[in-house]
Amino acid sequence: MSSNDQPIAPNSTSPDSIDLQSDQSMREWAHRLDVTEAQLKEAVSAVGDRATDVEMHLKGSRSTTNVDRTVQASGADRA
């Protein structure tokens, strides 16, 4: 079995799950998602252990649109 064939979340029931109980799983998912382990834990706490949900949560928290930045700069709330 090559390193790519090893399950990332061996204690979970889904291959798309992030197993926070496994140091190997946390390191691998943090690397894949380009976040720290603390950010990964926060995201899993916020949206659950499904990797696609965690990825979307992290992308949403790291990206803003031009409209968002304009509103932030003006101090106004979006309607």
Show pLDDT as tens, one digit a residue, over the chain (79 residues): 444 454 444 455 566 899 999 999 999 999 999 999 999 999 999 999 999 999 999 988 555 555 665 666 677 655 5
What's the predicted TM-score (pTM) here? 0.60
Q: How far, in Å, are 36, 55, 72 from residue 30 at the CA level?
A: 6, 10, 29
What is the residue extent of each domain of the chain? 14-61
Spatial separation of the C-alpha atoms in residues 42 and 49, rounded to whole Å: 11
Residues 6+ apart with CB under 8 A from 66: none
What's the distance, Cα to Cα, between the start and end of the chain in Å? 54
Q: Are 29 and 38 in contact (CB under 8 A)?
A: no
